[in-house]
Amino acid sequence: MNIDEEEFEKTMAQIVEQMGCLLMDIILMSFKKINNENQLLKEFWEARSQAHKEEDF
């Protein structure tokens, strides 16, 4: 293996590692977004349920 091939392999390994980190960040952001949306829906559902309970009285 000559120097160019070694440098190429090292650069490719760094790129692959950075892409892995990027994908993990994207997955984490997706989970956070889903969690946030679920929290908003839960709050909406609770407010709606409370409004229906108050209408019944």
For 40, the domain range is 30-57
Sign of the CA dihedral 30, 32, 36, 39?
A: positive
Pairwise CA distance, residues 36 & 12, whole Å: 36
Question: pLDDT class for 56, splitting at 50, 70, 90?
Answer: confident
In which region does residue 2 sit, left (phi positive, over 0), alpha (psi from -120 to 50) or beta (all else)?
beta
Does residue 11 fall inside a structural domain? no
Mean of the pLDDT values across residues 10-19?
Answer: 98
Residue ranges of E strands in the chain: none
Token readout for 27 is: 């997955």
- Asked if residue 16 has pLDDT above 90, the reply is yes
Does residue 1 fall inside a structural domain? no
Does residue 7 fall inside a structural domain? no
Does residue 54 fall inside a structural domain? yes
Mean of the pLDDT values across residues 31-38?
Answer: 98
Quote the number of domains for the chain.
1
Check residue 3 and give its pLDDT. Answer: 78
